[in-house]
A and B are shown apart, each in its own frame.
Chain A
Amino acid sequence: MPDATGLELLAGELRESEDLSENAILGTLHFRGRATLEVEPSSIRAVLAHLRKRDYSSMMSVHGVDYYPHEPRLGVHYELLDMSRVDRVTVKLRVSTDAPEVDSVTPEGPDGPGWPTADHQEREVYDMFGVVFKGHPDLRRILMPEDYEGHPQRRDFPVGGEPVIFTHNEADSRGAAQ
C-alpha cells in the first residue's frame, strides 16, 4: 500500500495529469493501511490507465456496493496491484440508481488496453447491483438466470427465500406434488 503521504502524492499527480480533468479525483481515503482513491465515474478509464503507467498494472477484482440509504447509492470498487512492489490501491466510484452507468474498463480503448479481469466481474456487478457498464463486450447476467428480474444484492431487494417444507406442511406447499 502507498502510505498516506504516498496516496496524497499519487492523487496530486493524477490531478495534475493532462489526461484527466481537474475534478476527476474526488478525494482520498487512507484507512487501516488501505489506500483508496475516490474518482468521478466518467473518468474511471483514464484514472486506471494512468495508474497502469505507475505499475499498478494488475486488476485483482471489481466489486459492487450498495450504500443505501446514502446517495448516490451504488458504488464500484476496482482493486489494483503492483506486482513488483506488492503494492495495492483501491479506486472507488459512486453512481446513483437513477442512471447507474459506468464506462466499462474491459475493452481496449483510445486510452489504452483493457482489463480482461473486469469482464466477468463487471457482469457480476451488473447482475447483483444493476450497474450498467457501457461498452462491455457481453453484458449479461452471470450468476442469476438470464430471465431473472431485479438485482438481488441491492439493499432494498427483498431477502426472499422459500417456506421450508416439513412433513406437516408438505401438502400445503407448492412443489412437485402439483
Chain B
Amino acid sequence: MEVRRELVGDDARSSSIGGGEPVDPRSLRVTRHDSRDLLRGAELLGPTAPSIATKPPGGTPHGGEQTGEDLERYVHERVLTTTLEKAVAWGRSNSFFPLAFGLACCAMEQFQTAGPRMDIGRFGFEAFRASPRQADLIILAGRVSIKMAPIIRRLYDQMLEPKWAISMGACCSSMGVFNNYALVPADKFMPIDVHVPGCPPRPEALMHGILKLRKLVQDDPEAGWRERYDARGTEELPGDGNDRVVPGA
C-alpha cells in the first residue's frame, strides 16, 4: 500500500511538503492506492489528475482511461480519501502505548486486561512501555497518596504529546473508602480523560474505558481534556520554543 500526501485547494501551488513554508495539516489529503493496481502498472491518480496510464493488453480498462461518472465511480470504489487528521487519529487510537504502571489492587485487574481472557492486544494496546517517554496513555490503577501525587504528575509531564490518562477505580477518581488525610483524587493534579468506576473495576470495565477513549480520540478528539480545562495552546511541540532541547547540545 502506498500512501501519497498531496496538497489540495489553494495550497496546491507547491507539491513538496517537506520543505518550504509550513502547511496546515487540515489541507492535506491521504490517498491510499491498491497495491495490485500499482503492480499492474496502472497508477491511480486523483480525480483531478490527467490520464497518463496505458491500457494493458487485453485487460479491463483502468482508471486512467475513464472519464466522467465512470471515473468518479472508479475512484470511489478503489481509492480511500480522508483527511490526514482523521487518519492520524485512527492510527493513534488503535495503538495506544500504555505506561506499565500500577498503584494498588486495581493494577491486578489491569494486568488481567493484558491476559489471555481479555487480551488487550486484540485492539492494539498491548505494548506496555516501561518509560513514560515512550507511552501515550497512563492508567492510574489504584489509590494516589499525597506523597505519590508529585511523582505521578512528573511521569505524566514526561509523556510526549499527544497523551491521555485513564483514572481506574474508585480511589483514584473519588478516593473511595479512603477519603481522608492520605489520598488525593487524580483530577486535582492532572487532567483525566476517562474515569472507570469500580472497586476494583473488572478487566472488562477497564477495557470498556479504553475503548471509550479510543472512540473519543477517533470521533471527537476535540472533546479531550484540553477542551474541558480550556488548555488549548499548552501543547509542547518540538521547535515552538517551549521545548528545552538546545540545538547542537
Contacts and interface: CB of A to CB of B under 8 A. Distances in A.
Contacts of B180: 152, 159-161
B122 interface: no
Interface in A123-178: 143-145, 148, 152, 157-162, 164-165, 170, 173-177
Contacts of A162: 175, 179, 183-185, 188
A165 B145 CA distance: 17
A177 B179 contact: no
B201 to A, nearest CB: 17
A152 B175 contact: no
A178 to B, nearest CB: 9
A13 B203 CA distance: 59
A161 B188 contact: no
B230 interface: yes
A160 to B, nearest CB: 4
Interface in B155-171: none
B38 interface: no
A161 B175 contact: yes
B187 A175 contact: yes
Contacts of A175: 187-189
B126 to A, nearest CB: 29
Interface centre among B145, B147, B189 (most CB of A within 10 A): B147
Interface size class of A (residues with CB under 8 A): 10 to 19
Nearest to B188: A175
Contacts of B184: 162
Nearest to B149: A145
- Chain B interface mostly: loop
B157 to A, nearest CB: 12
B147 A165 contact: no
Contacts of A160: 180-181
B146 to A, nearest CB: 6
Contacts of B185: 162, 164-165
B181 A176 contact: no
A157 B185 CA distance: 21
B190 interface: yes
B224 interface: no
Given A152-B181, A160-B180, A162-B184, A176 B174 contact: no
A176 B147 contact: no
A177 B189 CA distance: 9
Nearest to B178: A161
A126 to B, nearest CB: 16
Contact of B147 (A144, A152, A157): A144
Contact of B179 (A143, A145, A161): A161
Given A162-B175, A165-B185, A177 B230 contact: yes
B182 interface: yes
24 contacts: A144-B146, A145-B146, A145-B147, A152-B182, A157-B181, A158-B181, A159-B180, A160-B181, A161-B175, A161-B181, A162-B175, A164-B174, A164-B185, A165-B188, A173-B187, A174-B188, A175-B188, A175-B189, A176-B187, A176-B189, A176-B190, A176-B191, A177-B228, A177-B230
Interface of B: 145-147, 174-175, 179-185, 187-191, 228-230
Interface of A: 143-145, 148, 152, 157-162, 164-165, 170, 173-177
Q: Which 5 A-B pairs have the closest CB atoms?
A: A160-B181, A161-B179, A164-B174, A152-B181, A145-B147
Given A161-B180, A162-B185, 20 more contacts: A143-B145, A145-B146, A148-B146, A152-B180, A152-B181, A159-B180, A159-B181, A160-B180, A161-B175, A161-B179, A162-B175, A162-B183, A164-B179, A165-B174, A165-B187, A170-B187, A175-B187, A176-B190, A177-B229, A177-B230
